């Protein structure tokens, strides 16, 4: 036989595109259209329904960027359509390739009830089998969201700014008409697409491929292209045989879970996310009515809280679908958070607030932590997941690795403390699957555990910008449930998948340590003010909870439960994985700065009230120490008069150098403003191998994903900032002024009294573009690894590049400290808001550590980081890991002084500095119990005696949600606690009332 395969496939392509798909609807009839353009920000549906609408027509432009227009669409059903399936088809001006990233709509009934969302892949409004002669009216809220990431890639755009005045219309209304849905043709299209997609994934020498080809050819032969509606049933019958052949016994099984990964902010502001979630949930709850086996996983508690607040009628539908088991809350977190940069307590609160919302609203204790798109995963997460009462973890993002292919899809992930959680990476390598033949084939081929396991998970539905699953996706799932040549597709819940996977997998592999994403390394640095706002907010919340709890117990002051709950949730929202990483549009980050300022103002006021209540009548200065270590004679977590200290004064020398010497360290600054020497008097050794605090500027032109990526070739060109404008001194500080490019900066260098720490404050007016600014410290130590703080501990990373896995970690994340040491001696770099670092061994015998201070990508915010910044960091010579931890807390928790008449005893005292008291607060259930969270901080076993200064009747070990893990015990004067390396312990003290 002659090989005519390509001819048949080309014939099929054309018939599908030009004849079959357009024939799914026929007998169209234009609708009457009126419009109201909202003057400004979006309004409620009640206000929109009362507005004055003006007639409009197809072809009319609408929508300045970020504007909203409401269309009133009226469809008349003619007599000949009686008892036919009728739909209204709407095209707001869609680009078919970008669902969720452009104009979108949400249709409502005349009483304001939301029906379903509209986007390029979901353009119909169902009327069902409608009686002839009826008239139906809909109101469509149309959002003119601009396309930020367009077809030409990462081009700078001003469309990401909050609009100050209306611009030109972006879209044109193209369609609003009623039509009859030909269900025979619609089903024929679904049959044909599934078989066509499967066929093209099969080998060309596969008999199954040729069977499908000939069946499709017979279908085409039976189809009269001039009378598709009459001939579609007979044409479809030609496909029955090939569609009914069962899958191979060894076929891979895919648990398909409906999903819509909706970014809580990204290329749109938060207010638009609320509407995206509403459109998506309207879609999926409508689909559920006709597909009882369809399950949809909703992964962010914040998004459901928004719907409860803004769309109560839709929330009632959601609640009903949760109770039927079709809509499945997952994730266990307030938002799909970044996990590299949130602090330990914030990471715990993500799980606490997320899981508690699902428990309070639906009575569901979620078991999955669901983070498909975050940019790497902290090694502290397994313990936090387990401590929250969850069992499983899912992500997909590691498949984006730039260099190394991750070796597993289902495995045990072990954290820094040894806790393990069962983890799954969907091998389809997408969290926005459409259940296409290509996706199913890739998932089956790509699965790493063949021979040991037989199933994986497939999250399907339009995401990022929302929309969720469509009826076409469900049709593909039904046809591939048991189809020869295809994996089996089951519509499951995440729990059904994980439960089956636990049984199915014989001997999963182990992965120890962080899940480092070999991509998006620039997110540790982009949008410095957002990162600074997060870091400051985390520590302000710690202070507010500590002093309010202390004031309540000591003085009876009211504890501000509601305010702290609200403020925590605002901070958690801004840890979303496109906000805190700095990868959102300008609007999002400008709004975040405003929010952080309000949070700081409110928390400062809360803390001040509590401290005044504790300090009593004004008499003399009382200093409060919220850090977990004693300093200046003030106990940890307590308040007392501070011991006076005087920092050393700068000394000028004939050779032009300036020194600062406090008896522990001597720092020398040369005429270029560089640290040329930092001498440790006790160790009698020099800390620096070359001049330190050297600011270095690099070009920053990643191959893609500007705000996200930092590609290692940035290091090919380095400009050292050694020119100065002037060096001046005052009583205790050396001031160094520099100018470069379009930017200026002043550094202030001090050496605190009685401290082994050199403090550097950099005030910079930054106006560079596509540059990265680093601060370099060449250290005279031979360190084979670095220890970078992460949540409730630290993670060690090699400083060498022996393997491609080592080399890929050329930019790393650290929280308050980065520690580098050789046996017996080390140094720490600490900071107040910097997360990006790099560590190298340039000559083998020394180690250079650098902080990434600022970047300047052009997309999606063309003015990323432009403006004034104040960044604080410090070098701590001769520091062990305990010193690094202590100094990191001290820098980030400055003392507060108020006038009072009494000292404040700490509520909690521990006698081992390796044990850190991380949180002191009242219980979330408002019982008045005190909750204390502490952890072992150095990576070793620790024994401590914990004492309390208030009467208590019981102490109970709990999980993160403050639920008991053991029976209560009667507290004694001192509680003996033994902790594993990096173990987190939560204790609940029942107070005497």
Q: Which residues are catalytic?
A: 373
Tell me if residue 884 falls in helix, strand or coil: helix
> Rounded to an integer, what distance in angstroms lies between the CA atom of residue 860 and that of residue 903?
51
> Rounded to an integer, what distance in angstroms lies between the CA atom of residue 746 and that of residue 381?
39
Exposed, middle or buried, 246 (CB in 10 Å: 0-12/13-18/19+)? exposed
Exposed, middle or buried, 754 (CB in 10 Å: 0-12/13-18/19+)? middle
> Rounded to an integer, what distance in angstroms lies between the CA atom of residue 92 and that of residue 70?
11
| The CA-based dihedral angle spanning residues 939, 941, 945, 950, taken in that order and rounded to the nearest 10 degrees | 50
| The CA-based dihedral angle spanning residues 672, 673, 679, 680, taken in that order and rounded to the nearest 10 degrees | -160
Exposed, middle or buried, 290 (CB in 10 Å: 0-12/13-18/19+)? exposed
Cβ–Cβ under 8 Å, residues 690 and 697: no
Rg, C-alpha atoms of the chain: 31
Reported in sequence order, the residue ranges of 425-465 that DSSP labels E, i.e. its strands, are: 455-460
Q: How many CB atoms lie within 10 A of CB 555?
A: 11
CA distances from 175 to 28, 32, 280, 395 (A): 11, 11, 22, 39
Cβ–Cβ under 8 Å, residues 251 and 198: no
Cβ–Cβ under 8 Å, residues 536 and 600: yes
Which residues are bridge partners to 453 per DSSP?
Answer: 450
Closest CA to 464 of 708, 276, 257: 276
> Rounded to an integer, what distance in angstroms lies between the CA atom of residue 792 and that of residue 891?
17
Q: How many CB atoms lie within 10 A of CB 732?
A: 17
| The CA-based dihedral angle spanning residues 914, 919, 922, 924, taken in that order and rounded to the nearest 10 degrees | -120
> Rounded to an integer, what distance in angstroms lies between the CA atom of residue 838 and that of residue 799?
9
- Beta strand pairing status for 847-855 and 836-840? antiparallel
> Rounded to an integer, what distance in angstroms lies between the CA atom of residue 124 and that of residue 622?
67
CA angle 37, 41, 43 (to 5 degrees): 75
Closest CA to 474 of 522, 423, 435, 515: 435
Backbone φ, ψ for residue 211 (5° rounding): -60, -45
Please name the residues in contact with 917: beta carbons below 8 A apart, sequence gap of 6 or more.
628, 636, 637, 908, 910, 932, 933, 934
Cβ–Cβ under 8 Å, residues 260 and 461: yes
> Rounded to an integer, what distance in angstroms lies between the CA atom of residue 656 and that of residue 68?
64
> Rounded to an integer, what distance in angstroms lies between the CA atom of residue 828 and that of residue 816?
10
Q: How many CB atoms lie within 10 A of CB 335?
A: 27
Q: Is the peptide bond prior to 634 cis by the omega test (within 30 degrees of 0)? A: no
- DSSP letters spanning 175-233: EEEEEEE-HHHHHHHHHHHHHHHHHHHS-TT-HHHHHHHHHHHHHHHH--TTSHHHHHH
């Amino acid at each position: 036989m002659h090989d005519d395969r390509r001819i048949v496939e080309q014939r099929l392509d054309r018939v599908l595109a030009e004849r079959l798909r357009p024939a799914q609807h026929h007998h169209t009839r234009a609708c009457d259209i009126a419009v109201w353009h909202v003057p400004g920000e979006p309004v409620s549906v009640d206000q929109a329904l009362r507005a004055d609408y003006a007639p409009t027509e197809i072809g009319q432009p609408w929508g300045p960027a970020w504007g909203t227009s409401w269309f009133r669409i009226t469809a008349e059903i003619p007599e000949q359509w009686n008892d036919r399936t009728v739909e209204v088809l709407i095209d707001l001006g869609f680009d078919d390739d970008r669902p969720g990233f452009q104009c979108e709509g949400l249709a409502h009934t005349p009483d304001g009830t939301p029906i379903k969302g509209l986007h390029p892949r979901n353009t119909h409004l169902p009327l069902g089998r409608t009686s002839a002669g009826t008239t139906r009216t809909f109101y469509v809220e149309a959002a003119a969201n601009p396309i930020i990431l367009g077809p030409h890639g990462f081009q700078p755009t001003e469309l990401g700014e909050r609009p100050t005045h209306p611009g030109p219309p972006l879209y044109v209304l193209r369609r609003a008409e009623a039509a009859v849905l030909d269900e025979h043709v619609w089903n024929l299209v679904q049959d044909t697409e599934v078989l066509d997609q499967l066929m093209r994934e099969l080998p060309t020498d596969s008999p199954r491929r040729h069977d499908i080809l000939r069946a499709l050819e017979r279908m085409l032969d039976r189809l009269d292209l001039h009378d598709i509606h009459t001939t579609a049933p007979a044409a479809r019958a030609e496909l029955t045989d090939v569609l009914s052949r069962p899958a191979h016994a060894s076929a891979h099984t895919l648990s398909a879970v409906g999903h819509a990964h909706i970014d809580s902010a990204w290329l749109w502001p938060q207010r638009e996310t609320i509407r995206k979630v509403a459109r998506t949930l309207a879609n999926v709850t409508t689909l559920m009515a006709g597909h009882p086996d369809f399950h949809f996983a909703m992964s962010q508690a914040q998004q459901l809280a928004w719907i409860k607040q803004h769309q109560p009628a839709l929330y009632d539908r959601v609640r009903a679908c949760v109770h039927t088991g079709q809509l499945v809350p997952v994730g266990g977190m307030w938002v799909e958070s970044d996990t590299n940069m949130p602090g330990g307590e914030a990471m715990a609160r993500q799980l606490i607030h997320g899981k508690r919302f699902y428990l309070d609203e639906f009575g569901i204790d979620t078991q999955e932590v669901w983070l498909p798109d975050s940019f790497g995963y902290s090694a502290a997460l397994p313990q936090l997941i387990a401590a929250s009462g969850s069992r499983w973890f899912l992500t997909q993002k590691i498949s984006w690795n730039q260099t190394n292919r991750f070796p597993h899809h289902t495995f045990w992930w072990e954290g820094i403390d040894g806790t393990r959680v069962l983890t799954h990476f969907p091998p389809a390598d997408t969290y926005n699957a459409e259940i296409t033949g290509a996706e199913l084939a890739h998932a089956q081929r790509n699965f790493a555990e063949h021979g040991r396991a037989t199933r994986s998970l497939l999250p399907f539905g339009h995401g990022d910008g929302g929309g969720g699953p469509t009826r076409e996706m469900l049709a593909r799932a039904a046809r591939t449930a048991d189809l020869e040549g295809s994996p089996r597709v089951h519509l499951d819940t995440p729990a059904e998948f994980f439960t089956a996977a636990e049984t199915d997998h014989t001997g999963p592999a182990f992965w120890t340590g962080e899940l480092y994403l070999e991509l998006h390394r620039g997110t540790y640095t982009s949008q410095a003010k957002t990162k600074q706002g997060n870091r400051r907010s985390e520590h302000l919340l710690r202070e507010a909870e500590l002093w309010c709890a202390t004031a309540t117990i000591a003085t009876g002051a009211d504890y501000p439960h509601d305010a702290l709950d609200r403020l925590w949730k605002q901070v958690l929202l801004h840890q979303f994985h496109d906000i805190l990483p700095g990868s959102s549009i300008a609007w999002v980050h400008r709004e975040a700065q405003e929010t952080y300022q309000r949070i700081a103002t409110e928390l400062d006021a809360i803390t001040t009230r509590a401290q005044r209540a504790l300090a009593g009548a004004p008499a003399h200065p009382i200093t409060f120490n919220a850090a977990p270590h004693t300093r200046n004679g003030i106990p940890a977590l307590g308040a007392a008069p501070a011991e006076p200290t005087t920092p050393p004064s700068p000394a000028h020398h004939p050779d032009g150098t300036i020194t600062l010497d406090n008896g522990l360290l001597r720092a020398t600054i040369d005429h270029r403003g560089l640290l040329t020497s930092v001498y440790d008097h006790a160790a009698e050794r020099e800390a620096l191998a070359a001049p330190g605090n050297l600011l270095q500027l690099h070009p920053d032109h990643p191959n893609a994903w500007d705000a996200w990526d930092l590609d290692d070739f940035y290091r090919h060109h380095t400009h050292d900032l050694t020119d100065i404008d002037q060096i001046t001194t005052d009583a205790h500080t050396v001031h160094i002024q520099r100018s470069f490019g379009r930017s200026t900066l002043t550094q202030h260098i001090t050496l605190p009294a009685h401290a082994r720490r050199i403090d550097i404050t950099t005030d910079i007016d930054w106006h560079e573009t596509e540059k990265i600014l680093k601060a370099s410290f060449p250290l005279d130590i031979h360190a084979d690894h670095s220890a970078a703080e992460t949540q409730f501990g630290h993670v060690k990373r090699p400083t060498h590049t022996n393997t491609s896995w080592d080399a890929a970690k050329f930019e790393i994340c650290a929280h308050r400290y980065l520690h580098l040491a050789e046996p017996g001696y080390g140094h720490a770099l600490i900071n107040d808001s910097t997360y990006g670092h790099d560590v190298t061994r340039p000559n083998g015998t020394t180690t250079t550590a650098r902080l990434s201070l600022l970047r300047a990508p052009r997309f999606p915010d063309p003015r990323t980081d432009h403006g004034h910044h104040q960044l604080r960091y410090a070098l701590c010579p001769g520091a062990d890991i305990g010193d690094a931890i202590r100094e990191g807390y001290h820098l980030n928790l400055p003392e507060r002084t108020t006038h009072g008449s009494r000292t404040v005893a700490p509520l909690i005292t521990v006698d081992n500095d390796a044990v850190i008291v991380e949180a002191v607060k009242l219980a979330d259930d408002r019982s008045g119990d005190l909750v204390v969270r502490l952890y072992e901080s150095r990576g070793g076993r620790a024994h401590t005696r914990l004492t309390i200064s208030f009467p208590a009747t019981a102490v109970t070990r709990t999980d993160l949600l403050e639920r008991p893990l053991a029976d209560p015990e009667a507290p004694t004067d001192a509680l003996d606690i033994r902790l594993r390396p990096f173990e987190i312990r939560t204790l609940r003290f029942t107070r005497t009332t």
